[in-house]
Amino acid sequence: MKRGLWKSVAAYGAALAAGALALQWLEYDRLARSRPGDIYLALVAVAFLALGVFLGARLLVRPKAAPFDGNPQAVASLGISPRELIVLKELAAGHSNKEIARRLEVSPNTIKTHLARLYEKLGAVRRTDAVNRARELGLIA
């Protein structure tokens, strides 16, 4: 296309847009004169909606929780090894000895040994006692 043709197309497009804008303005002006209360009510509703969304986003944001550290002081004072802590977490997840052994790639007898030491260190008699005691001490979540 020639440069002059683009200018005339743009001029006609701008004229059509101005005409459409004028017609829409006249329609809005007629609506505003016939129902001014409804328009003001709608504007107030939109303003309160925007204010509510803004305040909700500001006030209802939850602070980020601190990362769970597993209470390293209790782990050190009880003498729980890192491997025993892993076994304890697997125990709390509800896994059986065989499942824990498979996950950690050790024999079930090794898991039994770790559990026996954990029971002794936590003063527990059974699995649920050990998990409950570990949760009380903050060793697991």
CATH code for the structural domain at 72-137: 1.10.10.10
Average pLDDT over residues 74-82: 89
| Average pLDDT, integer, range 53-77 | 83
Q: How far apart are CA 77 and CA 102, in angstroms?
A: 29
DSSP summary character for residue 96:
-
Helices (H), 36-126: 36-59, 72-78, 82-92, 97-104, 108-122
Report DSSP letters for 23-61, one per residue. HHHHHHHHHHHH-HHHHHHHHHHHHHHHHHHHHHHHHSP
Residues 134 and 122 sit within 8 Å (Cβ to Cβ): yes
What confidence score (pLDDT) does residue 2 get?
62
**Residue 33 banded pLDDT, cuts 50, 70, 90:** confident
Span 28-39, mean pLDDT?
A: 76
Residue ranges of domains in the chain: 3-59, 72-137
Q: What does the pLDDT read at residue 89?
A: 92
Over residues 117-132, the pLDDT tens digits come to 999 999 999 999 999 9
Instruction: Please tell me the predicted confidence (pLDDT) of residue 141.
Output: 80
> From CA 31, how far away is CA 6, in angstroms rounded?
37
Give the range among 7-21, 25-39, 42-56, 87-101 with minimum mean pLDDT: 25-39
Above 80 in pLDDT, residue 71? yes
